[in-house]
């Protein structure tokens, strides 16, 4: 029986490489996989899912008009994998729930849970609401003298922490750091540079 999985973690928690590994495992067994990535995230190229370790795959781009259910119904893969699910709309997660329920195809979504303001993304909140199974992918705090679990995202602009502003500004380690709650509020910036 198919399920809708939501696997979330902070930045640098290995979400994309895990997605690419799952895709490889399916394809190695001769099975078909449909991959989706949001249009807003083109850091590694438009329609590319990439890991920081250098592995990448092409994916179908999702924008506000995309009907994910229709695409999957047409392609009939054995599994659907979604990267950066936090950037999707709630209706996209409803479509993915229909993929599981109506087409009996497993869907595994990967993404962040919260933004740098400690607020849910629309896609993350919808993933929590619709998922059959929620799994955390853990990583440690970016502070050099801390081994706590990273649970927050710290945004840095011009070397200073930012806690307010627009929710979405796509970036990597140049803009965001995964930190524990203590270092979110007391980042000790000279050691994070």
Active site residues: 84
User: How far is Cα 79 from Cα 6, in angstroms, rounded to an integer?
Assistant: 14
Tokens linked to 159: 């070397």
User: How far is Cα 43 from Cα 176, in angstroms, rounded to an integer?
Assistant: 14
157 pairs with which residues across the strands?
A: 160
Q: What single DSSP character describes residue 74?
A: H
Which residues in the chain belong to E strands, given as ranges?
Answer: 4-8, 33-38, 48-50, 56-58, 60-62, 79-82, 106-111, 133-136, 152-157, 160-162, 176-179
User: How far is Cα 62 from Cα 49, in angstroms, rounded to an integer?
Assistant: 12
């Amino acid at each position: 029986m198919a399920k809708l999985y939501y696997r979330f973690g902070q930045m640098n928690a290995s979400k994309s490489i895990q997605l690419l590994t799952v895709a490889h495992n399916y394809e190695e067994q001769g099975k078909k996989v449909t991959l989706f990535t949001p249009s807003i995230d083109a850091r590694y190229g438009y329609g590319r899912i990439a890991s920081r370790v250098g592995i990448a795959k092409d994916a179908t781009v999702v924008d506000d008009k995309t009907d994910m259910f229709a695409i999957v119904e047409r392609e009939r893969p054995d599994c659907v994998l979604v990267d950066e699910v936090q950037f999707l709309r709630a209706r996209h997660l409803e479509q993915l729930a229909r993929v599981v329920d109506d087409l009996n195809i497993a869907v595994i979504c990967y993404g962040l849970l919260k933004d740098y303001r400690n607020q849910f993304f629309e896609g993350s909140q919808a993933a929590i609401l619709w998922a059959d199974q929620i799994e955390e992918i853990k990583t440690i705090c970016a502070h050099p003298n801390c081994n706590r679990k990273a649970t927050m995202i710290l945004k840095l602009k011009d070397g200073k922490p930012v806690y307010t502003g627009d929710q979405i500004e796509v970036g990597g380690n140049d803009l965001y750091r995964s930190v524990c709650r203590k270092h979110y509020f007391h980042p000790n910036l000279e050691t994070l540079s």
